[in-house]
Amino acid sequence: MRKIILALTCFLLFSNIFGQDIHEKLKITHVTGDFYVYTTYNTYQDSQVPANGMYIVTNNGVVMLDTPWDTTQFQPLLDSIKIKHHKVVVMCIATHWHSDKTAGLAYYKNKGINTYTTSFTDELCKLNNKNRAEYLIYHDTTFHVGKYSFETYYPGQGHSADNIVIWFNHQKILYAGCLVKAADAEDLGYLGDGNTTAYASTLRKIKIKYAHPKYIIISHGDWKNINSLNHSIILAKKLQKKSQQ
């Protein structure tokens, strides 16, 4: 019996150790106050890549920024929010047309959630056969939901032609999506739909407009390092010089 117990203990111990390398399919992390980052994963270039989105809990329901990249996590995210906060998602804004932002738009629209993209993003979604939002944003817009207000801002082309950022002025939170890369990133990531010459200028516009953010939420990588925007500007300047040679 002792041998059986010992073998079982070792099995559980090693299972726990090796299991630590396996990503959770859905991870929710508190940022500050009513702000939370949710993370799902998908495969890119044979590696599991995290994709961050954000949601805000208001008295009038939950506002979601971008949708999960992992299509199996559309409903689990809604369920997790309902269990954790006793609220339903009422609004979702996708920040550009790529699937790591828009994959869940049709699903959430069918759930009665008000889905939004810019009109520019909608054109690219239609062109590239991606899911489309129900409502369109035609210019930089300030939204008010419950006690929170936030503004959408199109700074120009960078990661994609249509990428926007979202700013919460009172909390000084910049939701930068895929436009800003992690502070330890070696490059600006996928640029197949990007603008390498305009990227640096686009990022500088963001830095000038939102000079002192307390948090910068990025899509891929560590969002807790506030140096991500400055680092991305350096990378974009190098890329611009290289493209001009």
What is the tens place of the pLDDT at every residue in 147-205?
A: 999 999 999 999 999 999 999 999 999 999 999 999 999 999 999 999 999 999 999 99
Judged against a pLDDT cut of 90, whether residue 21 lies above it is answered with: no
Domain annotation covers residue 16: no
**Residues 89-125: tens digit of each pLDDT:** 999 999 999 999 999 999 999 999 999 999 999 999 9
Number of domains, the chain: 1
The answer to whether residue 31 sits within a structural domain is yes
Would 11 be classed as within a structural domain? no
Residue 185 lies in a domain: yes
pLDDT band with cut points at 50, 70 and 90 for residue 241: confident
Inside any domain, residue 138: yes
Alpha helices for the chain (secondary structure H): 2-19, 74-85, 99-102, 105-110, 119-127, 199-209, 228-244
**pLDDT band at 242, cuts 50/70/90?**
confident
Distance, C-alpha 173 to centroid of its chain? 13
Look up the pTM and report it. Answer: 0.89
**Residue-range definition of the domain harbouring residue 50:** 24-244
Q: Is residue 5 part of a domain?
A: no
DSSP-H helix ranges across 42-149: 74-85, 99-102, 105-110, 119-127
Residue 3 lies in a domain: no
- Identify whether 103 is part of a domain: yes
CATH number at 201 reads 3.60.15.10
